[in-house]
Amino acid sequence: MEIQNTILRIAPLDEAAMAAAQARLDALVKPPGSLGDLERYAVRLAGIYGQVPQATGRRAILVFSADNGVCAEGIGSAPQSVTAAQTVNFVRGVTGVGALAGATNTEVWVADVGMLAPVRYPGVRNLRVRAGTGNIRVEDAMTRQEAKTAVLAGMRLAREAAAAGVRAIGVGEMGIGNTTTSTAVLSALTGEDSDRLTGMGGGLGERLQAVKRAVIRDALARAQADASDVMGVLSKLGGLDICAMAGAYLGAASARIPAVIDGYIGCVAALAAVRLAPEAKAYLFASHVSEEPGAALALEALGLEAPLRLRLRLGEGSGCPLLFSLLDAACAVYHKMATFEEARIDPGYLEKLKR
């Protein structure tokens, strides 16, 4: 019930604020539209906040950690113990996302939603649903209720962040084996051939990639998931991290703050969120196109474009701080550029260019 109530809180963007923002952008001393996506970002931020802010302000990346039972098939890019080790390192600020967050004045909030064993470390939130998931090759990842509980955990954390004054969130993850679960979920939701979507994950060689493809094919054949039943797809094939991430996107939208998507796993979780609540899409910003083969297709299914192509495939939420910088740039353009009138330039020359 709480999930549905949260979804019902997701409101359309403020069209009047967007129109006003577009009018000012068109009056700035530049050819109309010449700042491309920065202008589109400013307009969308106006729709979310009711006006274009001076900057995105306080922001936080919510990182959800969980273990995946499919690692029993030997296709993890690292030992499962790395999930717990990196979860602590997120709090210490020494991971990839930690370094990038520190460089962009971004907080990192860390939550355990289902690691094999609890991590008792200051700064790691205990939102555990269960101790890891089932091996999707031979069994469902979790029960339907557990999937809902994980979605709800992500929703609540995003809304908690908004209530604490966070004005924009990014969403990240940590879970060895989660490119496997993401590919299974993406294939089930879109009907795309899973072999086309399967990549190296954290660095698998050709032999293990072949095993990974076979595992995903077997999981899909076993689950026979219905694409129209998103919660069913998540419970049969997903991970607790993916569920919580989907919930975080929905929670942010319900709190009227933007949510930034990282890479492949983030895109798959965002697709699940948008399938649950199409109106949430307006609040989502893609950051980059991951090197994973399925990433571009996931973005296409979402109907979103990512501005950055940096060959990233780390995950963790590492692309989010980079997009926050672009959103701040959009705000700076909007507020700090002069209008034609303020710059004492006659915009009539623009009309001549059209002839």
pLDDT of 202 over the 80 cut: no
pLDDT in tens, 131-141: 999 999 999 99
Amino acid at 247: G
Contacts of 158 (CB under 8 A, 6+ apart): 62, 169, 247, 248, 249, 250, 251, 252, 255, 257, 259
Run of H or E including 109: strand 107-114
Q: What is the mean pLDDT of residues 271-275?
A: 99
pLDDT of 245 over the 70 cut: yes
Domains of the chain: 2-53+333-353 (1.10.1610.10), 59-324 (3.40.50.10210)
pLDDT of 10 over the 70 cut: yes
CA distance 136 to 239: 9
Greatest distance between any 2 Cα atoms in the chain: 70
Residues serving a catalytic function are: 316
Amino acid at 27: A
CA distance 224 to 136: 12
Grouping H, G, I as helix, E, B as strand and the rest as coil, residue 71 is helix
pLDDT of 269 over the 90 cut: yes
Residue that has been written with the tokens 């403020």 in this structure: 14
pLDDT in tens, 279-323: 999 999 999 999 899 999 999 999 999 999 999 999 999 999 999
As a whole number, the mean pLDDT across the chain is: 95
